[in-house]
Amino acid sequence: MILVKAFLALLALTLLVYAGLYFFAPVKLADTALSLERMRAGLQRSQTDIPGFGIVYLEGGPADAPPVLLLHGIGADKDNWTRVAAFLTKRYRVYAVDLPGFGESGKPADARYRVADQVERVAQIAKALKIERFHLGGNSMGGWIAAAYAIAHPEQVRSLWLLDPAGVFGADDSEMVKLMAAGLPVPLFARSEADFGRVLHFVMQKPPFIPAPVRAVLARRQIANLTLNEFIFTEIREQSGALDASLAALQPPLPTPTLIVWGEQDRVLHVSGAAILQRLLPNSQLQRLPAIGHLPMLEAPGAVTRAYLAFLDTLPP
């Protein structure tokens, strides 16, 4: 009876603490939730420096395992990869970085953020992490940077994992492109806390559950970076050569083994880009995901990571 009472008292205290965080310390609750996700994935937060930027990243997995470097999309950060990392860290050394200009990494006002600039910085990050040959993955903007990196440094990239990558200018117009052509703002960035829910449902068909106070904190963090995100979006879109044109110009074609993943309900980047990339990358496989949007690694982490691990298993050691 005493043990039962003690357990109930502990449970009541735990619920009281959680309620206090929920209503009075949402930032602490959001950071705690992220920390728990990282812990479950076997990741820890680390940081390093490259010229002009402090870089924050997550790392985990056996120190002597093959490295996998993961790049997020625009307006996102390293924690977009936490759920897939939970499957990868058992067999691979995973690095999920905040690219310069995003997350906790440096955001100097006078920096440039074109794809070519970020490719150079990814090379500096890889050097700082002491990884010379690695598997490279990216979503959206990060997918474009990853593919451009493989073009620039093919000897370093063991394989590519491209999830709804940007830069395929020959694809059909997406809903986002049509909205912008009509003069509307970029639909990827929240302009108010109430607008954040719309953004989540624009980029995902199946947004994961996020407690309201945590969602409010994430919304405020994105709003704080709105001006920079819009600047980076414009700079990348207008001053970076198309990825499909760069791949088409290569002779011979890029031989890097590649797994292309695309959500069939992507409203940001039209799924027709998947077939274009598959044609331009002769050593590639394609995974199309019905009822999935622009962020497969958040919407269907188990399905995409199982397919990725199966793909990695086909590669020579």
User: Considering 72, 135, 270, 294, which one is annotated as catalytic?
Assistant: 72
> If you write DSSP's letter for every residue of 236-305 in order, what string do you get?
HHHHS--HHHHHHT-SSPP---EEEEEETT-SSS-THHHHHHHHH-TTEEEEEETT--S-HHHHSHHHHH
Local structure of residue 207 (DSSP, 8 states): P
Residue positions counted in the chain: 317
Q: Could you count the other beta carbons within 10 Å of the beta carbon of residue 36? A: 11
Local structure of residue 73 (DSSP, 8 states): -
User: Considering 46, 105, 135, 140, which one is annotated as catalytic?
Assistant: 140
3-state secondary structure labels for all residues of 110-156: CCCCCHHHHHHHHHHHHHHHCCCCEEEEEECHHHHHHHHHHHHCCCC
As given in the structure block, the two tokens for residue 18 are: 């959680």
72 is catalytic: yes
Residue 93, beta-bridge partner list: 67
Helix, coil or strand: residue 157 = strand
Of 290, 285, 279, the C-alpha closest to 308 is: 285
Residue 140, beta-bridge partner list: none
Contact 312, 156 (CB under 8 A): no
Q: Could you count the other beta carbons within 10 Å of the beta carbon of residue 223? A: 17
Tell me the CA distances in angstroms from 156 to 127, 238, 278, 300, one per residue in order. 11, 28, 21, 29
153 is catalytic: no
**Residues forming the active site:** 72, 140
